[in-house]
Amino acid sequence: MAAVRPWNAFTAAEAEVRSMVADARWQTLPEPDRAHAIAARTLVTRDGDRWVFGAHARWHLHDPADGRWHLAPPPRRLRARQVGHHATALPSGVVPSGPDFIAEPGSTQAFVGPDVPVKLCEQIRELLRANCRKSELDYPLTAFGEIFARDVPSTVAAVWGTIMWCAYAPAFDGNERLLTIFGEFLRRPLPGDEWVRWLPAPPLIDLVTLVAERRRAGHPRTALRLAALIGDTAHILLSDIRFRPRALALLTMVEPVLKRPGLDDEAALRDDHALRQAWLRRCPQRLARAVLVETDPGAHLSHTVYDLVEALAFAPDPPRAAAVYLADLSDSRGMLPARLDHRLRHAYDELRRAGLTSTSASERTEPDGFAVMTPDVRPGARTGPRPMPRDSRTGSGAGAGDRGERAAGGRHETGAGVRVETGVGVRVMPPDRAGAAAVLGAAYAVGLAWSRVSGARVPERGFAGSVPLVHRLIHERDDSPI
């Protein structure tokens, strides 16, 4: 007889709300009625915290200090009971609209294990090969000039920009084929260390500029070709869940103009920002979360913090574990705590009082670079360096082994993973490779989102918290050796 999973109040409440919102009648209900239905399913845990499963198919936690509701994964190990809540005290932003429950959540994994699939990389290679020899006079590089050499046509930048914009967290490892494809076009080695390329996430305006400038210059067919190239690249990226949500959103923005050339002429002739707004207006509500990075950077930050806490669900205390990664962020103006729920805020404040926050204010997190070989933390794991191809343009695999080994800190096994003692605190490492990649991706996404909100610089060698995660990952290949 199959084992029966124990009843869980959070799981049950979530199932009820999903069933209600999936009903076609949900969107026809007046907002007060929808708010009442959600508020009636409020849960409370023994510590007094109140939770509702609401907008964006995510949990929201009530802050007793100021009455706000924060996005926050629930403590599913704790018992909870249904108590209800005053519907009038529930903000409209917490109540599901309906389409927001349809969106595919995607994946928080960065590209540091596993690699992007070979088939996807080959499709991108073929697309790039077919378009990279265009004249730079016909396709001038009006964006991404800090990445590519001056004589590179904007067709190359359109493919690159689409990949980076669609990526959940654009951190790539030394075996990454997808980056090697662009090696001959780069202006300088990509930012990062000897193993990971910590790449910036471009804003949508950069992609828009490539198209809009050509239309204003009187070359509508060239502008249309660039829009088609962005669409073709996004279509290829749909096959990888780490790209899919934003790739789908980008397709909904550019495909209409491919069917109706001239649709965006008025906006493009006005300026880049007008065209950007035209694109964003075409993104349907069901994909709204995928473009929050453009439309509401503050809400996007909240979602990435949610992702980070979820990725740390294996830890005994996920909020406390997440606070250690949040401590990496530069926050000279003290803006971050007010954006956190009270559990995260208390854990973060403990680190702040100990002087262990804003650790990324210093540009270099490991002065001698990441080690290629470090003592492994898992019984029976293979030892030895992880082979990496050398590429002078991408900067991958540049002989870090010659610099000697650096320990990531004291380590010991726990039931929930590996505890790593660092200068910031105790980081509980994921018990497996997939978990480590998910935490690394989520933590980097938080850093990029915080940069959008605060203007804080993103360290070129990654955040301090990435060091033990990278050491945890580099011992196993994630590509296919020849």
The per-residue DSSP string of 176-232 comes to -HHHHTTGGGBSSPPSS-SSEEE-----HHHHHHHHHHHHHTT-HHHHHHHHHHHHH
In degrees to the nearest 10, what's the CA dihedral of 171, 176, 180, 185?
A: -10
CA pair distance 481, 443, nearest whole angstrom: 29
DSSP 426: E
Phi then psi for 348, rounded to 5 degrees?
Answer: -65, -40
CA–CA dist 101, 313 (Å, integer): 22
Spatial distance between the Cα atoms of 116 and 125, rounded to a whole number of angstroms: 13
At 467, phi and psi to the nearest 5? -60, -55
Structure-derived torsion over alpha carbons of residues 373, 374, 377, 378, reported in degrees to the nearest 10: 20
pTM exceeds 0.85 for this model: yes
Contact 197/176 with Cβ under 8 angstroms?
Answer: yes
Instruction: Write out the chain's pLDDT in tens, 482 residues.
Output: 444 455 689 999 999 999 999 999 999 999 999 999 999 999 999 999 999 999 999 999 999 988 999 999 999 788 899 887 787 778 989 999 999 998 777 888 888 766 788 999 999 999 999 999 999 999 999 999 999 999 999 999 999 999 999 999 999 986 688 999 999 999 998 888 778 999 999 999 999 999 999 999 999 999 999 999 999 999 999 999 999 999 999 999 999 999 999 999 999 999 999 999 999 999 999 999 999 999 999 999 999 999 999 999 999 999 999 999 999 999 989 999 999 999 999 999 999 999 999 877 544 433 333 333 333 333 333 333 333 333 434 554 433 332 223 333 454 444 455 555 554 556 788 988 889 989 999 999 999 999 999 999 899 888 988 888 888 887 765 555 44
The H-or-E segment that residue 157 falls in is: helix 154-166
C-alpha 77/C-alpha 8 separation (Å) is 9
- The one-letter amino acid code at 293 reads V
Residue 56, classified by CB atoms within 10 Å of its CB into exposed (0-12), middle (13-18) or buried (19+), is buried
Contact between 429 and 416 under an 8 Å Cβ cutoff? The reply is no
Residues 6+ apart with CB under 8 A from 322: 305, 308, 309, 312, 344, 347
CA distances from 236 to 116, 121, 249 (A): 12, 9, 13
